[in-house]
Structure 1
């Protein structure tokens, strides 16, 4: 039987469409000849997730994203259908996280929990919002970029102010200041060159002094040892008895001073009563005069007829010194 050209074209078209559908689904990791094993996860934000993106458990591929639909008209949450290609025990407390690598497509990563009960086909996973690496970097860089932008604005204002200040006269003054600075630097260099010899001599003197100390190190050590020994001996001395003795002496002196300054005592009365002092002074003068008269004229007071007659000379009115007494006897 002869097949017409139209029939051939129709068969080829159907075959091409079938291959196209099968190839497209193969590229999207869909198997049209297997039943779907779907579990679900609800996310408030899908990020860059799309259909046929991978679903992994601890980095191992277990399925793909089959479908994404909004939960309600408000589009506040989205239901993601996950088609499992392999049978994996997923604890019920596991969490689905949308991750965004630096390179490659977005994917869903399932963090396994510790529950002993496992998810069944048709169950819903708990979800966890993960900002992803790019979002983390963006969140961390945003404050820094704001600060940099503010700094650039401030720098721009500062440069504008500087440009405004740098008039022709200001620029001339600035050039003059730079020239003066160069001249001062040259003068300072000349001064330092002239003082180099003095600095070298000072350093040599310091080295000689240090060498002298090194040579006399033994004597210095001996002196330090002697001082240390003396200090130890002084520390071992019984200082308390000396202190007690000094304290007793001070107390005695204080008591004597109080007695002297007290008007009721003899010394105190003598010090404070001038009339008593004058009477005592006159009494002492009279007593001294009497003693001198006794020495000069002993026969006046002791008269023995055997040795001679009584001395009838004048009496002394004032005391005389020892030198005058010796001259009178001679």
Structure 2
């Protein structure tokens, strides 16, 4: 069977078109295998990173950039990575965009030291890349490059911290600083007052110490007098200690016991004094005798001739004796029985 030239040309053209499409897709970072490992990275600025740009780890390409998508606001750009080699990427690894002096842009992954690894579909941590100048600086002066990275990280931290503070928080911090200033001013005033207090010439503490010094000096001058006073007190206490206080207290207790016995007898109805104080009959007899004495005195005052008769002619009183005292006996009233 003879194949015509037209058929050969058509077959070669079809094969060329297929190879062209496959090569174009390969350059775009698309994988031809059914299984592919994809990671994601989110950047604020991808610095010209495009599809099919290489993904590098320690200078070796391990994948390509599949797509970049910033959405409608373009504030955060999500980069999709297709991995062409099976690589274990630690979970604390960081991705950043690098540029070479020739203008080639790539995505670099700096491996971490974690024992856990990213899985298919995870998002890798990112940081800002330095660009061509940082690449040159890293080659020329690695120490200065590390300092530059540290300053950049510090700037990012300060920006993040500033974004965390809302106006109320900033106002509170400002008020706190003002209060701290007032506190330091008060401390300054207090320290000045304390310095005045501790002044060796005019301070209150110095005057107090001077008074204490004068007092102790006076005590030192009167040391002999104080010694004499203490000696007299010791002699007095010794004299008191020699007194027979025990016998005195025993005698006093006996006297008190006798006095209690006497008072008990007085309060009882036994004995002469007890009968005089407690027997009601004696009181009644004394009252009756007093009434009879008052009656006799009134009768004697009103009828003296009845008791003293000095009449020459012998005239006798016709009135009988008084039976009741007169009502004018105010100072000695008659007590009815």
Structure with larger Rg? 2
Note whether the superposition's TM-score is higher than 0.5.
Answer: no
User: TM-score range, shorter-chain basis?
Assistant: 0.3 to 0.5
TM-score by length of 2: 0.36
TM-score by length of 1: 0.37
